[in-house]
Structure 1
Amino acid sequence: MPNPVTDRTKLRAARRIVVKVGSSSLTDGHGSVSVSAIDTLTRVVSQLYHGGAQVIVVSSGAIAAGFKPLGLDRRPRDLATQQAAAAVGQSRLMAQYSESFWKHSINVAQVLLTAEDLMRRTQYNNAFRSLNRLLNLGVVPVVNENDAVATHEIRFGDNDRLAALAASVVKADALFLLSDVDALYDGPPTRTGARRIANVSADANLSHVTVGDAESEIGTGGMVTKLQAASIATDAGIPTFLTSAENAQAAIDGHDIGTWFESRGQRKSARNAWLQHMAVSRGQIMIDDGAVEAITVRHRSLLPAGLIGVTGTFEAGDVVEVVNAKSMVVARGLTNYSVNELPAMVGKSTRQLRTELGPEYDRVVMHTDDTVIVKQTTLTR
């Protein structure tokens, strides 16, 4: 089914949309959660909802909501205190969302995820089934990273990425990123002469764009994380709109504000989105330039003749990264061989391998159907 959201004026046409709002857009000048900000957000979401859309809200703010009750005046730096603030703040945040949405006759559900929940294929599918069922029951899921148990080592890192992955999981028509910045600019917005970039085409090169990435006292996201989220979503075939929370109403009304990121071709399957962005890689397969062209340009399967070397600890069926001779990741996919089998196959044709090792080696290293291409995005900070 074609995506009904073809440009910025068609946001109201979305049948399924993910709206992400950051901590800085939900808090007042003292770091406390702003009731008026949540009321404004829910009013905009309710218009989409009552217009026929299924909506997921990805909301930061749990840690910020725990500041005041714990007597803190800024975001804690140590993990244990962050987790404590999140545990206290999440219930307060959800209570406010429930109250605000109920004014518009909308039920909400709390959905807390960790990166590990989406790393494993079975749990990834479970997340889809749960979110999909909530949406079909007319509920607005309010999704957040489970900061009370997430660790520095295994986490999404920011809710921008979580929002993009959620959009991919539920096959959303659009991703709506609400920030404290009204658009992407060709330089720091505070710099004299900085110009808004209204549209980012599917094949755009953003290497000329200079962005900052400093964390605020309230949240963790910066423009870099938002561009990474837009890249994840658009690569999955989901157009993305970036603007400030205060411009949300004008955005859904189709005004020329913010930045619109075009989707890259057809919608990607949930399986391929999982392969590219969430599945844990167990190792790397290095290939030569000819093999790089074969799998990335001609979309062929990876053959043993193109192998240079392997690293890691993996078995047949595991997810691995495919890198070029400069160690740059060009693809990810499911390998048909273990790390112990591949060294003997380096540089050899399948015919040679069939003769030397037996007929069971007469198959590709990685089938094209089990491979996703990794596109490189370059930004200047």
Structure 2
Amino acid sequence: MVHRNVQNTHRPTKSSLTLVIKVGTSSICDEKTHFPLLGNLSMIVETIIKLKSLGHRVVLVTSAAVGTGLRRLNMPSKPSKLASVQAIAAVGQGRLMAIYDDLFGQFNQAVAQILLTRNDLADRSQYLNAVNCLEELLDMGVVPIVNENDTISVSEIRFGDNDTLSAITAGMVKADYLFLMTDVDCLYSDNPRTNPQAAPVRVCDDIEGLRESITVTSPGSSLGTGGMVTKLIAADLATAAGVTTIITRGSKPDNITQIISDADNAPLHTRFVAKKTPLMDRKWWILHGLHTAGTIYVEEPAAKDIIGSKNSSLTAAGVVKVAGHFVSNQSANIVVERMNSDGELEEVTVAKGIVNYSSQEIERIMRCDPEDVSKILGYEDSDYVINRDNMAIVI
């Protein structure tokens, strides 16, 4: 069953939980005037203070740097020029943190600003530094406030939206719950604003199957970048890391307290069940922290070995094609081409891993046995194109 209206038994039972709460632009500032929604923000802050008083650790992932910057600069709408958006975000980020610091300061609660891009997580040591910083802040009782560093982000290093950023943050801190706060109570089978027959999805343990059974077209607000599509992606990322993910209404943040204490009797929400066998931290980093620099196409037998064996590395003999330009120690997708049910050739991503050779070197040694690598290249860094320890399986 893809989604169901039943009680869920797969939820954390610890008395102290680690929670990541993602708040979107529409919950922080007005879409037209860009004035801050202080009532909403105050309720979010009060909810976090209450959660901390119950012994929980909380990370806040926030949007609205651009929206806040537009208000500060008295600009009517977000420009299309990248440099302009980055400049507006630079103005807005400081003002946004000042608002949070004022609100949390009423309760003598310390907060910390964490600005990230994918580039910050691409290097393993930087990734671990970010993890250690977040953990230390939580141990100190501080509320980390995470946002994408829009002032320097470009398409290649962007998370794309803060739903994705919140999922990666949840994986980094090994959260028990990720809360995606939005402008509806839960995920529906269709747009409830246009289809009165749209049914709520209460519990989901198969996100891929869910995508095929519902209609999701919400693009998000004019200021934000998200929507239900990005929330499904975020839920997929977070549950793979063992994080139970919740979609609930952003204007009612107190729902969070009820959901973690008695989810079966809590207000309407959607629960995505965490995977029982989550990815290990290093595999998670490879899959979601590293920028994908290229693609390595493999034969069907090589793909089956990778999927079916826990010890199978990728040798040059199984490689049939390379796409993109990358160097050793960058990451690449491992893809196999298969015929689908309609008789059409389709690409299926099998895994992602850190390569031992550059794209040019792999093109020279592909289809060759491991013992021939040194003869062709004149040297041999490894018997494998990608070692199993540096590979995260996708399917």
TM range (shorter): 0.7 to 0.9
Q: How far apart in 2 are the matches of 1:52 and 1:338?
A: 49
CA 1:9–1:351: 2 relative to 1, 3 Å = closer
* Corresponding residue for residue 47 of structure 1: 50
* Corresponding residue for residue 347 of structure 1: 367
What amino acid sits opposite 2:325 in the alignment? T
What amino acid sits opposite 1:104 in the alignment? F
Between 136-145 and 97-106, report the one with greater CA deviation. 97-106
* Corresponding residue for residue 21 of structure 1: 23
Tell whether the 8 Å contact from 2:328 to 2:357 is kept in structure 1 after alignment: yes
Query: 1:302 and 2:314 equivalent?
Result: yes
What amino acid sits opposite 2:233 in the alignment? Q
What TM-score do you get using the length of structure 1 for normalisation?
0.88
Q: How far apart in 2 are the matches of 1:34 and 1:359?
A: 62
Query: 1:265 and 2:276 equivalent?
Result: yes
**1:36 Cα deviation after fit:** 1.0
Q: How far apart in 2 are the matches of 1:143 and 1:362?
A: 39
**Which string of whole-angstrom CA distances, capped at 9 and with x for unpartnered residues, describes residues 266-310 of structure 1?**
333332112111212332211122222221243432233322122
Alignment of structure 1 residues 86-101 onto 2, 5 Å:
86-101=89-104
Between 130-139 and 311-320, report the one with greater CA deviation. 311-320
CA RMSD of aligned residues (A): 2.7
Query: 1:193 and 2:204 equivalent?
Result: no
What TM-score do you get using the length of structure 2 for normalisation?
0.85
Tell whether the 8 Å contact from 1:182 to 1:247 is kept in structure 2 after alignment: no
**1:187 Cα deviation after fit:** 1.2
Tell whether the 8 Å contact from 1:200 to 1:259 is kept in structure 2 after alignment: yes
* Corresponding residue for residue 231 of structure 1: 236
**1:350 Cα deviation after fit:** 4.2
**Which string of whole-angstrom CA distances, capped at 9 and with x for unpartnered residues, describes residues 227-263 of structure 1?**
1111111111111111111233124213052111111
CA 1:364–1:68: 2 relative to 1, 3 Å = closer
Tell whether the 8 Å contact from 1:287 to 1:307 is kept in structure 2 after alignment: yes
**Which string of whole-angstrom CA distances, capped at 9 and with x for unpartnered residues, describes residues 139-181 of structure 1?**
0011111222323443122111111111112222221111112
Equivalent residue pairs, number: 370
Q: How far apart in 2 are the matches of 1:348 and 1:94?
A: 56
* Corresponding residue for residue 120 of structure 2: 117
Tell whether the 8 Å contact from 2:248 to 2:269 is kept in structure 1 after alignment: yes
Query: 1:246 and 2:251 equivalent?
Result: yes
* Corresponding residue for residue 365 of structure 1: 385
Q: How far apart in 2 are the matches of 1:100 and 1:137?
A: 19
Query: 1:106 and 2:109 equivalent?
Result: yes
Q: Which of 274, 291, 301 is the matching residue for 1:290?
A: 301
Residue identity (%): 36
Between 316-325 and 186-195, report the one with greater CA deviation. 316-325
Q: How far apart in 2 are the matches of 1:78 and 1:339?
A: 34
* Corresponding residue for residue 205 of structure 1: 209
* Corresponding residue for residue 286 of structure 2: 275
Q: How far apart in 2 are the matches of 1:365 and 1:124?
A: 24
**Which string of whole-angstrom CA distances, capped at 9 and with x for unpartnered residues, describes residues 311-330 of structure 1?**
33334433221111244322
Q: Which of 120, 127, 130 is the matching residue for 1:127?
A: 130
Between 58-67 and 94-103, report the one with greater CA deviation. 94-103
Query: 1:66 and 2:86 equivalent?
Result: no
Between 174-183 and 310-319, report the one with greater CA deviation. 310-319
